[in-house]
Structure 1
């Protein structure tokens, strides 16, 4: 069995060999309403302050920040569960980050739409491909041992 090593809080010498990571997580959110080109919206923990947001983006992510505006989103407790108890989603804070002058923010397009013209092949090839996939779906499962599909196991 290995020996457990406990590191001291402070190490002599320069530089220190530790990396300190933040306890906060910032989530980039697609805004519901149209915003200016230089503004991004983040969902952050309630404990996080405006200077924390600014330092996080400037020091860790190297994003030039001009201003930070925050608001707290109070969630409703009007929902009820199956035992008729009130259910409340947790509250969270929203930060609107305005980038420095000359910077613009575009929300990343994670799922780009595919062009219909870019699909290779003619209409017959597409139909044949569809029929082959359909035949594959209709094949009997060899693990069932010849038992029909309508008889559930």
Structure 2
């Protein structure tokens, strides 16, 4: 299923067309504890289980054993002052089971690197030293503001 309109014929040769999927998947960290071979996605509301399986197998070459989906209602809130009700969009959650023995772990995007912390400490000390020098130089010139000196 696609809502994109692709031209059947383009003038000129070769016929260059790029067919983009109309669907999207968003990998999310699960709210509850799952086995290591289960991955949770928020997917386009129009996607079926078969679309999700084909998307992962054909595009990302990930073997899929099982796909379960559930449509979740968006949150509703009532404005305290004006009283009107707002509702977020509904979304579909897909739980994808990988083959036995294959595990998925979220990548560590922000690793705690000790070298980086040492570099930050050195930079901070250099900045403090430069600021002290600036203050000493501006104290030697009474009557002239510190921002005016060079």
Q: TM-score, normalised to structure 2's length?
A: 0.68
User: In 1, Cα distance between the equivalents of 2:114 and 2:78?
Assistant: 42
8 Å Cα contact 1:64-1:99 kept in structure 2: yes
The answer on whether the counterparts of 1:81 and 1:87 sit within 8 Å (CA) in structure 2 is no
Compute the RMSD of aligned alpha carbons. 3.4
Unaligned runs of 5+ in 1: 1-6, 139-145, 149-153
Question: Partner residue of 2:72?
Answer: 73
Question: Would you tell me which structure has more helix in proportion to its own residues?
Answer: 2
| Runs of at least 4 residues off by over 4 Å | 132-135
CA drift at 1:40:
0.8
Q: Partners in 1 of 2:130 and 2:83 — Cα distance?
A: 47
Partner of 1:91: 90
SS in 2 for 1:41: strand
Partner Cα separation in structure 2 for residue 86 and residue 110 of structure 1:
37
How far apart are residue 65 of structure 1 and its match? 0.6
- Pick from 109, 118, 126 the counterpart of residue 129 of structure 1: 126
Of residues 103-112 and 58-67 in structure 1, the stretch that sits farther from structure 2 once superposed is 103-112
Shift of 1:41: 0.6
Partners in 1 of 2:119 and 2:20 — Cα distance?
47
